[in-house]
Structures are given as C-alpha cells and as structure tokens.
C-alpha cells in the first residue's frame, strides 16, 4: 500500500503546532512533514524559491501527498495594529498583509497542489477568517486583514475549480478556526467569545475536513463545519 504523506505549513504557530500534533496522533498518515522558517528545508511565504524547494523535497519522499494544511497567516505585521478607520489605511501595510495572507498561500497552491495524485481523496485546507467574509461584514475596520483574507478566499475558490478538473475526488477549502487562545487573542479577543484551546480548535478543524466530500470543494467553513457566506 502506498504511503500517505501529510504536510503542515506553519507548524510552530499557536494553531499550527496543535494541528501537526493532532494529525500525527490521528494515525491516518504514514509521514507528517512540517514546513516553516526553521524547518529543513525552510519555507518562507514571502520567498517563492523556498516554497518550490519544499515541493521538490516532497517529491523526493516515498509516498503520496494526500493532505496539505496551511496554518499560516498574520493579523499584526511589523507592529501595525488592525485599522479602526479609513484614516489609518496605509498602502505598505495593505501590501504586506496581502503578501502574507493571500499571495503566500496562493504560492503554496501553485507548488503543492500539483503534488496530489490524480486519483483518490486528497485535501488542501487553508486558514482564512470570518472577517474575510464580505457578506458577514457589519462592523467595519480591519481593512488590510479583511481584504487579504477575502482575496485568499477567491484564490482558494478558483484553485478548487482547477483542482477538480485534475482530480474530481480532491478537495480544497478555506477554514475559519474560531477564536483560539494564542498570544494574538489575548490582545484582540472580545469578552463573551467562545475562546478555544489550540488542541480543541485543531481537533475540530480536522474533524471538519474529514467529513468533507468532493461536492463541498471550494467552500468556506467554520470550525464546526458550518458554511460561511462569501
């Protein structure tokens, strides 16, 4: 039987570290590979050559890549807090957020999706955010992060269409992890929210992707499996 490989991008982050441990504990994969700035080879979302090198490393392994889970993303960048008003819009911050939260994952799709076999179930998941939903936006603010995650959602949706032509059994989805107890949420989480421990959030997300069918590819789901409005 062919060995199954799972790939986790961002394995040292608050959510990513819990995801990689949950995937290993599941026993569903023969090998679990984590890629980040400190991995060997390293992966930097802002440097396409490193992503391409990581894809080359995966090709050298014995087995088939059946899961790619992108747990990357950043709300605060270079000390810039989320904008509360259009008065705070900064072009450099907008570009930086888009580079990390949309272009980086797009490059992961470019180099990692071709690694999936042409037959059988394979799954690509990327962490988006509910604030990236245009239909759900009723509070305003957070211009750069909202726009970047909305861009990521469109990129994911487009890639899912192309992936389905290549392998009708493959799935690509965007996931909202909910509010997870990390250093980030200590600053921005509001009272009354359901704040999850990282291991709980990771297991919920994995439960969601395990239940998904090819008919749901290209979708946007929360950590309980409920669809989110684009």
Give the tens place of pLDDT for each residue, 209-226.
999 999 999 999 999 999
Position 229 in a domain: no
Note the pTM of the prediction, 2 decimals. 0.93
Position 32 in a domain: yes
Q: For residues 127 and 149, what is the distance between their CA atoms, to the nearest angstrom?
A: 9
CB atoms within 10 A of CB 138: 5
Q: What is the CATH number of the domain that holds 182?
A: 3.40.50.720
Position 227 in a domain: no
Q: Is the pLDDT of residue 184 over 80?
A: no
Position 137 in a domain: yes
Position 228 in a domain: no
Number of domains in the chain: 1
Its domain, for residue 179, covers 4-222
Give the tens place of pLDDT for each residue, 102-122.
999 999 999 999 999 999 999
CB atoms within 10 A of CB 222: 17
User: Which residues have a Cβ under 8 Å from the Cβ of 42 and sit 6 or more positions away?
Assistant: 35, 36, 50
According to the model, what pLDDT value does residue 227 have? 97
Position 230 in a domain: no
Residue 208 sits at φ, ψ, to 5 deg, of -65, -50
Burial (CB < 10 A; 0-12, 13-18, 19+), residue 10, is buried
Alpha helices by DSSP H, the chain = 16-26, 48-59, 91-98, 104-112, 143-166, 183-188, 198-211
Give the tens place of pLDDT for each residue, 66-84.
999 999 999 988 888 999 9
């Amino acid at each position: 039987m062919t060995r199954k490989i799972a790939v986790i991008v961002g394995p040292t982050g608050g959510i990513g570290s819990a995801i990689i441990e949950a995937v290993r504990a599941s026993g569903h994969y023969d090998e679990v590979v984590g890629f980040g700035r400190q991995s060997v080879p390293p992966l930097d979302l802002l440097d396409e050559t490193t992503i391409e090198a990581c894809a080359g490393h995966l090709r050298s392994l014995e087995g088939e890549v059946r899961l790619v889970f992108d747990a990357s993303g950043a709300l605060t960048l270079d000390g810039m807090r989320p904008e509360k008003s259009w008065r705070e819009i900064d072009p450099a911050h907008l570009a930086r957020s888009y580079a990390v939260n949309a272009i980086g994952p797009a490059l992961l799709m470019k180099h990692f999706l071709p690694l999936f076999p042409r037959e059988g179930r394979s799954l690509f998941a990327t962490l988006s955010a509910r604030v990236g939903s245009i239909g759900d936006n009723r509070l305003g603010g957070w211009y750069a992060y909202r726009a970047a995650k909305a861009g990521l959602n469109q990129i994911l949706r487009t890639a899912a269409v192309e992936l389905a032509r290549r392998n009708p059994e493959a799935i690509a989805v965007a996931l909202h992890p909910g509010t997870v107890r990390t250093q980030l949420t200590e600053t921005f989480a509001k009272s009354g929210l359901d704040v999850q421990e990282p291991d709980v959030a990771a297991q919920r997300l994995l439960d969601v992707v395990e239940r998904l069918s090819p008919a749901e590819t290209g979708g946007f789901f929360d950590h309980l499996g409920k669809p989110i409005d684009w």
